[in-house]
Amino acid sequence: MTQAKTAVVIGATGLIGTQLTNLLVEDDAFSEIKLLVRKPYVTALRKLKIIQVDFSNPAELEKSIGSPDVLFCCIGTTQKKVKGDKQAYRKVDYDIPVHAAAIAKRKGCAAFMLVSAIGADASSLNFYLQLKGQVEDAIAATGFETAGIFRPSILLGNRKEFRLGELMGKAVIQFLSPLLAGSLRKYKPISGTDVARAMIAAAKQAQAGTTVYAYDEMKKLAG
């Protein structure tokens, strides 16, 4: 019998992170799940250990991560939350996952699953896509036995916060979705639940090296 895995989730309160946590709790392949959160968070779900962390404190972050088998990273912010401050944006979207990855690798973690974005490219002229690409490159360079990079387009599902721009984008992309064929399929909208299911499936498969998952690959993994 395969031994149950331990997991750490960063970004558990977002759309994908919430679904991921719910699925992990019900999955017998995972015996313990730690949620690292920036703000107080209360849940009655079993198997969870919730740790409030100052992500800018390396020693505190290292202690909180421990030695998991898998680290799932769904962290992300918005321009609105950081009031357009690109440095503040970078501290969340780049520093947190990259520092967590370095610590996890050093502590013997075998797998790192990262939520990125379609179009991520370190050479992009777009700040957001460039930053996501830089994160992807840093994770790949960390050298995990298994690294999964998930690139969703527009996410479907109910967020805890209201995002007008995203809501409008969803309406447009869902209308155009039937036209997105061939090389454009990667831009199809996908539910946060499907992304979460794909992340868990990829962690279980433990494919060697770094693998990038776009729409079709995520849908296939999600079943």
- As annotated, the active-site residues are 128, 132
Which of these, 192, 156, 149, 199, lies nearest to 174 by C-alpha position?
156
| Residue 85 main-chain phi, psi, to 5 deg | -80, 110
Do 50 and 64 touch, CB atoms closer than 8 A? no
Return all residues near 220 (Cβ < 8 A) that are at least 6 apart.
none
Q: Which residues pair with 156 in a beta bridge?
A: 191
Give Dmax (Cα) for the chain.
50
With residue 1 as reference, give the H or E element that holds it.
Answer: none
| Residue 95 main-chain phi, psi, to 5 deg | -60, -45
Q: Which residues pair with 37 in a beta bridge?
A: 52
Residue 144, CB-side half-sphere exposure with 13 Å CA sphere: 33
